[in-house]
Structure 1
Amino acid sequence: MAKNPKSTALVPAGQRKPPAKRKAAVPAVMPATPDALRPVLGLDLAIAKLVGSGGDVAREDGIVRVTGLGYATRGCVVPAEEIFYDRSARRDDEGARLGEADKVSWRDEASGYDCIMLRDSNRRHLSGYVGAPRDHPIWGWKCEAVPPDLGIDVHGGLMYSRLCQHGPSPTPGLVVEAARICHVRVVPPPRFEPLVHATDHRVEHADAWWFGFSCDQVYDVVPADVHGQAKFLQAEVGAVYRDDAYVVHETVSLAAQLRAIADGKAAPSRDGPPPPPIGLDPRRGGGRG
């Protein structure tokens, strides 16, 4: 018998309790005031894009997540659920792009579909994604299998189609969430704690099938392509950088088109100029994704 039950060294192996599992680290959360945001974002330009009052900010390994505030582009204010900045990947030569977020997640009010604007961690261009619910007519379809007669018209054509990306654990950290293409994962508040954010009541979702487009076509300025053939081709076709306003607009347009397909209606008229013709990009062979 063990003389000291508090000492595991004297307790027989069969009677020892297994070591307690370590809980995942929860990033510290602080109010998203300008004074709190300035040292973690580092730019007043980035702070100026956050709209509203209240909100929270959390930090983890160079990732900053802002919740409870809207996100302003030159075209609209996005009703953001989460806004991410990747401080570790920032470059000094990105000019005005330094003020943009690296990921914005929101629910489009008109279609009811979840949307994401996401920056590629390597080439630094933006992409847009819309989550089609499980009962959608083309849920589970590969982007290359979507027929042209459905009328989907988005920048570069559909380039992405995939199920929700689940993290490595039920509560992935900010590093995973900042790059994950899936619904906003809401952790239920502790019992008896009042709801703080509108998304706190959301139940566990069924997997969406995400369709997306990417602004790294030959007619796009890609921040990482500063030398070589890519830059030469961009100059030849008058390529421009597709900013957050453009990507949000295209994402909302894609959501409207997917909703029209679900409702059995004609594709809605586009608001604003059409995207560049896919045929401009020799990599696409003139065909639709």
Structure 2
Amino acid sequence: MPKKKTSKALMPTKSTAPTLPQRFAIADTEIRPEQFYRLPGRQPTERGPWSDEPGKIAWKDPETGLDCIILRQENGTLSGYVSVDLDHPLHAYNHDALPRAVRNASHGGVDYAEPCRNYGPEAVRVCHIRPTGTPSHAPGKAEHDDKWWFGFRTSHPGDLVPTGIKPDRYREEGETYRDMHYVFAEVRSLARALKAFAYRPVEGSSKPLQIGSRAIDEDQA
């Protein structure tokens, strides 16, 4: 029996990499995905706002030029990640050592800081693999990735964790599922904060940092 390449029902414990879309509508914009995966093994079984979301999407933020990822976790929630290059002043920083302006730029605060994960399936690792001249999920030799990734999760108090919930308890009082549109906006906020910090004024300057459209005083950094 021939396999259906785009079926999400195949191998429910594994990932599926459908044809990489040229455009993906999200939040109030469109992005050009560099990775796009379905993760049936991490998809909550109950029907909800997560049902039609991909499991992983990676792209380059056009405003900041930074690489970004949204990845579904084993508990069904989404996490967001942004990477910086070796020449970024925060490269190799632990998440708890970040300046406040960056640490608090995304939902719940940055709580992930790691180098590229160059092990395990590409569909679930926080790393960009771009074989030259081929889609990111195609076979081939991966480029070296020395980026440092910062990230955040959406499983804090008040966040709805969809895996394991009862059908009649999708929303406990005060709990909200942080969907892909929400996480995208938070990823973009983190990317702007990281970009702004790279261009922060020299010591002694009275000019505030600029993160997106919001000025931040030096004492918040």
TM-score using structure 2 length: 0.77
1:68 to partner: Cα distance = 4.2
Paired letter, 2:175: A
Aligned-residue sequence identity (percent) comes to: 29
Root-mean-square deviation (CA, aligned residues, Å) is 3.2
Residue of structure 2 equivalent to 1:187: 131
1:151 to partner: Cα distance = 6.9
- 1:85 and 1:151 map into 2 onto residues whose CA distance is 29
More helix by share: 1
Residue of structure 1 equivalent to 2:158: 219
Larger radius of gyration: 1
Q: Give the number of the structure with larger relative contact order, counting CA–CA contacts within 8 Å between residues 6 or more apart.
A: 2
Structure 1 residues 91, 211: closer, same or farther in 2, change over 3 A?
Answer: closer
TM-score using structure 1 length: 0.60
- 1:198 and 1:86 map into 2 onto residues whose CA distance is 16
Do 1:71 and 1:78's aligned partners in 2 also have CA atoms closer than 8 Å? Answer: yes
Report Cα offsets for 1:91-135 as digits up to 9, x if no partner: 4313231100010011111111110000002x1100000001111
Residue of structure 2 equivalent to 1:80: 33
SS at match of 1:83: strand
Work out the number of aligned pairs and report it.
199
In structure 1, the gaps of 5 or more residues are 1-29, 43-58, 169-175, 189-194, 272-289
1:88 to partner: Cα distance = 3.5
- 2:100 and 2:44 map into 1 onto residues whose CA distance is 39
Paired letter, 1:204: E
Structure 1 residues 270, 94: closer, same or farther in 2, change over 3 A?
Answer: farther
Structure 1 residues 268, 199: closer, same or farther in 2, change over 3 A?
Answer: farther
Do 2:34 and 2:135's aligned partners in 1 also have CA atoms closer than 8 Å? Answer: no
Residue of structure 2 equivalent to 1:166: 118
SS at match of 1:212: strand
Structure 1 residues 84, 215: closer, same or farther in 2, change over 3 A?
Answer: same
Paired letter, 1:147: P
